[in-house]
Amino acid sequence: LAVQGDMLYVNNRFHVAAYDLARQGQRRWQSPAPPDRGRTHDWTMTAMRPLVVGDRIIVRQLQKQRPIIMCLAADSGKPIWTLSSANNEEFASDPMLARGQLLVLTVARTPLVDDQLQLHRYSLEAGELLETVKLANLRDVWRQSRACRVSVLPDGFVATLGGAVMCCDFDGRVRWARKQLHLPPPLDPQWITQRFDRPLVQGSRVFVAGPGGPAVECIELDSGKLIWRQVMPKIDRLVAAVDGRLIVHAGDEFLGLDGDTGTVVWRTRLPEAFDAELSSDAHGLLVARPMATKDDPNAKTPQLVWLDAATGQPTHQAALAELRDRELEFGPLIAHAGRLWTFFAQRVDDPHRDLVSLEPRGEAEPFAPGEERIDTWTRLAQGELLNRAADALPGWSLLSTARYGQIEKIGEIHGERDLFVLAATPTTPAVVGRYVEIPDGGSPRLSLRIGTEPNHQWRLVVRMGDVVVDEREVIASQQPQVFQDFTIDLAPLRGRKGWLTVESHHMQQHDHARTFWKRVELQ
């Protein structure tokens, strides 16, 4: 996507379409497909962004053999000129504008094992090749993902290359280059879920993450020095840098990281969130997710949710009731002239998208997670287990546990009596929960006494609805005792109601661990 004035230009890698946002999103034109067009799933996960330069649009598109670069007239979509790469090379990046000329990164095969990363310079007027500069060698594993995303600086660019990141000036002089934590696609089946993000430049720093990289990194822009690295095996995209926070999405959570240290400041769980976000320092983060409709539990409608960037706390919500079906495709979000725009489809497998204008009708509602049905959580659990949990932990319900050994109340273990025993694995936590209403006044607290096997590391997480109230790791070398007492301050939840859950996560990658629940009490 690219917005220039009132025009929105959209490239689906075969066609470019122009929409006039000042005229209710009317489509003005659509370009013809490139000759001998490529296959839909070539260059998987690679968005090809149009570059608008005056009265021209320069765009990378898929041809059968390899990508091409096309120059189109901005007022009609008619082709002006086309660039094809040499037989042994491919256009790896989208075109960049520098000093009135076009720059494109290419990857060329060589007789040697490594491929060659090159910078090509072209004239804007006719697409004439002016210069080629060799930048670096790439292992042939690069072709398994073809990751190459570029952010343009005032005097150069930063590029991520699926396991490496480098900074160059516009003449092709490499300022710095560094390797990243990276697993090649054959060893990391999750890489296909990671968005190919451009480096996120913020002041004197650049944040990077990408396919096969189980971490987000903060790098000093001038020197390439690593400032911090936060390992996140489930990270799938960088979202935004807002008010001192780097916001990322991992699994089913949005996370706010301290921009200076990389420390996780907050986590907010919003399952099945669409790849559709907008951010600003004034309004925080706007995200979208599907929600079930009240009149038909099988139908869904998009819901907009506003998050406080400093705390991750959901503040407001708005349901888009006119857009509904059993399956939805929604996003991205585009802000223009005080109005939101998005693309919408009623089926996941529908290749067509409708451009939709979202206009506010009054103020958004305060966020309310709502009371969730207990059988939504426990429909796979046996009734006998639920009864045992209710007997051992009055007022609380068993929501999740791994099945290893007996799940029951026992008389004594490790010096404690009358305990409820659950099991946790690296992928299945032990979870209990209850629906609560936190009073407006007083000092509400949650009192816990929980233990696990000796020398095991585990993580305690307390949530209310979609918001993480407390999270901490219990490391055996630092806290060798089996049982731990915790007092969780619930004052930030005064006046709220919803499901309060307590989770015990086993952090070691082998086998499982039993967890011993002595006390879970609201005070």
Report the chain's mean pLDDT, rounded to a whole number.
85
What's the confidence (pLDDT) of residue 380? Answer: 37
Long-range CB pairs of 80-83, under 8 A, 24+ apart, other chains included: 80/56, 81/126, 81/127, 82/34, 82/127, 83/122, 83/127
What's the confidence (pLDDT) of residue 251? Answer: 84
Question: pLDDT tier at 484 (50, 70, 90 boundaries)?
Answer: confident
Question: How does pLDDT run across 369-421, given as a tens digit for each residue?
Answer: 653 334 434 433 444 555 666 667 888 877 777 654 445 566 667 777 777 88
Half-sphere exposure of 288 (CA within 13 A, CB side): 24
Report the alpha-carbon distance of residue 506 to residue 166 in Å, rounded. 37
Single-letter code of the amino acid located at 499: W
Phi, psi of 321 (to 5 degrees): -65, -25
Omega cis (within 30) before 332: yes
- pLDDT of 478 > 90? The answer is no
CA geometry: angle 214, 510, 500, nearest 5 deg: 75
Question: Mean pLDDT over residues 128-152, rounded?
Answer: 89
What's the confidence (pLDDT) of residue 405? Answer: 46
Say which residue, 334 or 194, is predicted with more confidence. Answer: 334
**Minimal CA–CA distance to 151: which of 200, 105, 102?**
200
**Nearest-10 Cα torsion for 380, 383, 389, 392:** -170
Q: Which two tokens stand for residue 318?
A: 């708005």
Beta bridge partner(s), residue 202: 205
Question: Mean pLDDT over residues 26-47, rounded?
Answer: 82
- pLDDT of 96 > 90? The answer is yes
What's the confidence (pLDDT) of residue 371? Answer: 39
Residue 3, class by beta-carbon neighbours within 10 Å (0-12 exposed, 13-18 middle, 19+ buried)? middle
What's the confidence (pLDDT) of residue 382? Answer: 46
What's the confidence (pLDDT) of residue 377? Answer: 41
Q: How many CB atoms lie within 10 A of CB 109?
A: 15
Q: Of 43-47, 175-179, 197-201, where does mean pLDDT reach its minimum?
A: 43-47
Question: How does pLDDT run across 485-510, given as a tens digit for each residue?
Answer: 899 999 888 888 778 889 888 776 65
DSSP 8-state code for residue 492: G
Q: Which residues of 406-417 are buried (b: 16+ CB within 10 A; e: fewer)?
A: ebeeeeeeeeee
Report the alpha-carbon distance of residue 89 to residue 85 in Å, rounded. 6
Question: Mean pLDDT over residues 269-273, rounded?
Answer: 87
Give the DSSP H/E element, type plus range, for residue 385: helix 383-392
CATH no. for 374-522:
2.60.120.260
Whether pTM exceeds 0.75: no
- pLDDT of 131 > 90? The answer is yes
Report the alpha-carbon distance of residue 453 to residue 422 in Å, rounded. 11
Question: How does pLDDT run across 344-380, given as a tens digit for each residue?
Answer: 998 877 888 899 999 887 778 888 665 333 443 443 3
